[in-house]
Structure 1
Amino acid sequence: MMSGLVLVSQVGLLALVVLLGLRMLALARSQPLTTNPFTKGHSAFQKPLRPARQMTAEDRTALYTQLHILAGLQERECRVNGIELKDAPEPVRSYAAAWLYGAACALCDQHSRHSEALEGMVSQIASRKTGIRQSHAVQAMATLTSSSALLACFRGGLEGAGFWQKHHHVSPRHSLYEAITTNAFI
């Protein structure tokens, strides 16, 4: 009885190995090799370049919803701690836009980062939540590296949104309030 079970298992495994080999052969024939790693100028370790993927309507809606929720939570935290973003000076609202842009970059897929569509979405939400003009929000995003304060706020948004995705809240260390109060004289 036991030897019969072992024999059936061995035959089954042999059949699976043969099926795997046939499947690999069929896949190899259906998808021809597009680049020859031995031709001049190509490396076997190079990844083929893929065109940038456009955000689908579903991706855009999900990201917009997440950003709106995150911006609302951060705007509320600022208000509770005494900073009314809509009444804040223009540089403070720029810091908030930079923070939100960092958060957006953390929440979207890598191919959509630093795109015009993402900047437009962030500037629209920043305008609603902070009262900053969309053109000023876009300018703050475009000039992140010109100001250490904007860059620090951007990084705070990256880290805050990353933390938010895992823990469903923003660490006080990476919050918008902390980024603003650390980088502005309020």
Structure 2
Amino acid sequence: MMVNGLVAVTQAGLLLLLGMLGIRMFLLIRQDSAQHSGAMAVGSQSFEVPPQREQWSPTPTPKPRAAVSRVSDETELFTRLHILAGLQERDCRVRGLLLADAPETVRTCAAVWLYGAACALSPKSRRHTEALSLLVARIVSRKTGIRQPEAVQAISTLTSSSLLLACYRAGLEGAEFWQSHQYVPNGSSLYEVVTSNAFI
């Protein structure tokens, strides 16, 4: 009970910090654009800066707000994945499985489980992208000690192994459940999928 309250307070704090970061970024962008537009004052005279003509480019340039939104989404995804990975790592540790000391197969399963969770938490346009694989590899490397190239390799070849597919599916289902209930059910937890499929 107390752990759930602590997790909720931590999540609320992180969301508050994320909101403050977004507001600060918006204000900085607004301030920067105000400084560069209009007139530049030198002494008591002001000189009008001629507007620059936009050159045609085959690809549209993204608007600053879209860039801020994308960064905000990436930060939120990173935060959620980090929280979920930390909760699962703690669950494994409490049950006697230290992921950092576990065999390579277990750490590979953890990488694929977290990738499944990342696919559940990210928008459809970002699922199964190289950027998402690299993000997961970076997080799982910190939590389990697996090298990032090995984690990326496991993610890219997950369809070749029924064990890795089971881990991916459990991560996907666990994260979907976690989004609405704030916990991962035992059947979809990293510990359960590893112990039932990796023969530990």
Give TM-score, length-normalised by structure 1. Answer: 0.70
Alignment of 1:1-186 (within 5 A): 56-186=70-200
How far apart, CA to CA, are the structure 1 residues paired with 2:197 and 2:154? Answer: 15
Task: Give the C-alpha shift of residue 56 in structure 1.
Answer: 1.2
How far apart, CA to CA, are the structure 2 residues paired with 1:59 and 1:179? Answer: 29
Task: Give the C-alpha shift of residue 132 in structure 1.
Answer: 0.4
How far apart, CA to CA, are the structure 2 residues paired with 1:97 and 1:66? Answer: 15
How far apart, CA to CA, are the structure 1 residues paired with 2:140 and 2:155? Answer: 11
How far apart, CA to CA, are the structure 2 residues paired with 1:116 and 1:79? Answer: 30
Unaligned runs of 5+ in 1: 1-52
Task: Give the C-alpha shift of residue 68 in structure 1.
Answer: 0.2
Task: Give the C-alpha shift of residue 143 in structure 1.
Answer: 0.5
What SS is found at the alignment partner of 1:56? Answer: helix
What SS is found at the alignment partner of 2:96? Answer: coil
How far apart, CA to CA, are the structure 2 residues paired with 1:90 and 1:82? Answer: 17
Q: How many residues align?
A: 134
Amino acid in structure 1 at the alignment position of 2:93: R
CA-to-partner distance for each residue in 1:140-161, whole Å, 9 max, x for gaps?
1001111100000000000000
Task: Give the C-alpha shift of residue 184 in structure 1.
Answer: 0.7
How far apart, CA to CA, are the structure 2 residues paired with 1:79 and 1:148? Answer: 25
**If you compute each CA radius of gyration, which structure gives the higher value, 1 or 2?**
1
How far apart, CA to CA, are the structure 2 residues paired with 1:159 and 1:91? Answer: 21
Cα RMSD (Å): 1.4
Task: Give the C-alpha shift of residue 185 in structure 1.
Answer: 1.4
Amino acid in structure 2 at the alignment position of 1:72: G
Task: Give the C-alpha shift of residue 182 in structure 1.
Answer: 1.1
Task: Give the C-alpha shift of residue 170 in structure 1.
Answer: 0.5
How far apart, CA to CA, are the structure 1 residues paired with 2:136 and 2:94? Answer: 23
Question: Hey, what does 2:57 align to over in structure 1?
Answer: none
What SS is found at the alignment partner of 1:185? Answer: coil
Per chain length, whose mean CA-contact separation is higher, i.e. which structure has more relative contact order (CA < 8 Å, sep 6+)? 1
CA-to-partner distance for each residue in 1:31-50, whole Å, 9 max, x for gaps?
xxxxxxxxxxxxxxxxxxxx
Question: Hey, what does 1:20 align to over in structure 2?
Answer: none
Amino acid in structure 1 at the alignment position of 2:179: Q
